[in-house]
Amino acid sequence: MAGRKPIPKTQKEISNSFVVPYDVTQGNPNDAVPSTKNRALQQSWKGDTTKPFSISIQDIDEAIFYYLENVIKPTVKHNGEILPVPVLYGSPEKWKSYQKDGYLRDLKGSLMAPLIVFKRESMDKNRTIANKLDANNPHNYGVFQKNYSAKNAYSRFDLLNNRIPEKQYYAVVVPDYVTVTYTFIIFTYYVEQLNGIVEAMNYASDAYWGDPERFKFKASIDSFGFQTQLEESAERVVRSTFTLKLNGHIIPDVIQKDTTAISKFNNKTKTTLFFETINSPGTTSMISSARSSLPSTTFIDSNLVPGGGSSGGGSVDPSVFTYLISNFQKTGTVTNSTTVTFNVGWLTPPASIPPPDVNSFTFFCNGSLIEKSAITSFTQAAGVSTLVVNTTSLGYILAVGDEIVGIGKFESGD
């Protein structure tokens, strides 16, 4: 059996074979899709009425059409009548006819006037406004919140239970800001008609053109040129030529944007639980001090408190709840490579609660958690708490200037 015919490599494959990435976990920087893309963080667009956001060059062209036909509404007075001036896009056929004859004719051969014709000439990129850093793996996004989600509607049940529904957000990549240049030509029968249209166009300059329910872009006109031709045995030609510059932005609908950019995400939900105690049969009261101090999500077993079980009976000391929910953050001082001191003592627990120990505190060094296995001891004496760590288990030594933060059963005073 003959062997398989070898397939020659493309120039891109040959070039990528010589690339050695600085960070191997990120893969080849020339690849459009990073190898470490976490698909678990991507959400499906199935059933979502909001589609992926994109702005094309056609949207910019349509913004000009909308503004001319619905805002400026150019008109001329001809034979005692007010006539609207049609607007056409200069297709290659129409533009060639204009360059040859100096005017346009309809299918019957009649001169088309009054008329406004425009054509897109060029598009320049504006890099002074924003930059995506890397077009194939953008890092800057604009975030927009979705007002309503049918799958997470807010109901009276949520209101009674103090539940705030999660919010859904859409992340849109930073667009490419561009300056698009258009050439306009205005044809009329008389100079008076031409003057009226030019005045309307000049008044609309430096405004934002477009549909208010879609996109609006700032347009500017710097100068107008006038041409009047009155030749024997020829058509009267009265026209004005000017250039319009429109500052727009583009978000293309390309595969690189869809595979590498964040599409949408949800915020974190929050559940708040309160404490109920039964003082006597048929009487229920809330402990407001515990309610106001609860963190964003709190679960405390009422059976830990003597006499406070869910079945009721007995009385509950509010100081027990106050102690259980008390957590204070303090900043320590590094005295040497293994020792940190906090100028504060520990809380004194109620009689029914054991005293605090090292497990009642959490420590961080420059924002990194200090594991319990790396703590040699944590004691207090004379209003000063002392933390001793094992630098071998910790993996580094403490230095003067390190920020050591402790959270736990500290006294509230500084």
The answer to whether the beta carbons of residues 195 and 224 sit under 8 Å apart is no
Please report, for the chain, the start and end positions of each structural domain, with discontinuous segments joined by +: 57-126+176-250, 272-324, 326-414
Whether the bond between 92 and the residue before it is cis, its omega within 30 degrees of 0, is no
Determine the pLDDT at residue 37. 55
Determine the pLDDT at residue 75. 86
Determine the pLDDT at residue 261. 55
Question: Which is it for strands 115-125 and 141-145: parallel, antiparallel or unpaired?
Answer: unpaired
Determine the pLDDT at residue 401. 85
Quote the distance between the C-alpha of residue 227 and its chain's center: 49
Determine the pLDDT at residue 158. 66
Determine the pLDDT at residue 308. 45
| 57-126+176-250 fold | STM4215-like (3.30.2000)
CA distance 84 to 116: 11
Q: What is the pLDDT along the chain (414 residues), one digit of tens a residue?
A: 456 667 788 777 777 777 777 777 666 666 655 545 556 556 666 666 666 677 888 888 889 989 988 898 888 888 888 888 888 887 766 666 665 666 666 656 566 778 888 888 889 888 887 766 666 666 666 777 776 666 666 666 666 666 666 777 777 777 888 999 998 988 888 888 888 889 998 998 888 998 888 888 999 999 998 887 766 656 667 888 899 999 988 887 766 555 555 567 676 665 555 555 444 444 444 443 333 333 333 344 444 444 444 444 445 577 887 888 888 889 999 999 999 999 999 988 888 788 888 988 999 998 888 998 899 999 998 889 999 999 888 888 898 888 999 999 898 765
Determine the pLDDT at residue 244. 92
- CATH number for region 326-414: 2.40.10
CA distance 111 to 250: 37
User: Cα–Cα distances in Å, from 385 out to 108, 248, 330, 381?
Assistant: 98, 61, 11, 7
